[in-house]
Amino acid sequence: MASAISYQDQFFYVSNQRFGLLIEFGLEVGEKSAETDAEKSYVAALRERNNAFYPGYDLAIEEEFPSRDERKFWSRVFFDLAYLIFRREIGSHDATFWQYSAVGDAYLLARIITRSVQEEELGWHPKTLASIEADAFYEKGINVRL
């Protein structure tokens, strides 16, 4: 049995263990990065709903995250989660076999949530840890030695 993550007609399956880790790590990242009262309430609400999740749960983005602002928040959180797993800053790193697929699952979840926002707000993208790093890299410019 696996858990489905969906938005309208798009979906992907993850193992029940992976689903639990995505939510657990997502809550951890969300808790640390929530700045406004609204964002803190999104974390609290998901933490509360998490108690009702069960093996084989089908997480429908449009139902779990009904407002655009909430989907914007969770999009950023799951992109940041993928980045933090990649950088080995979250999760158990005694073994590495799980990391590549966890990064992919977190990234895919973030992309699906982003798509749900972009249907209402064309061209929107979240300000993530990776995009902040990229901005800093490109601000340095290109060093050419002659």
Reported as a single tens digit per residue, the pLDDT across 14-55 is: 999 999 999 999 999 999 999 999 999 999 999 999 999 998
In the structure, what pLDDT confidence band is assigned to residue 146 with cuts at 50, 70 and 90? low
Q: Where exactly are the structural domains of the chain?
A: 2-139
Reported as a single tens digit per residue, the pLDDT across 82-98 is: 999 999 999 988 888 89
Spatial CB neighbours of 38, under 8 Å, sequence gap ≥ 6 = 69, 73
Reported as a single tens digit per residue, the pLDDT across 100-135 is: 999 999 999 999 999 999 999 999 999 999 999 999
CA distance 98 to 122: 34
Residue type, 53: F
For the chain, the first-to-last Cα distance in angstroms comes to 61
Provide the pLDDT for residue 108. 98
13 bridge partner residues = 4
The number of CA neighbours under 13 Å toward the Cβ of 105 is 23
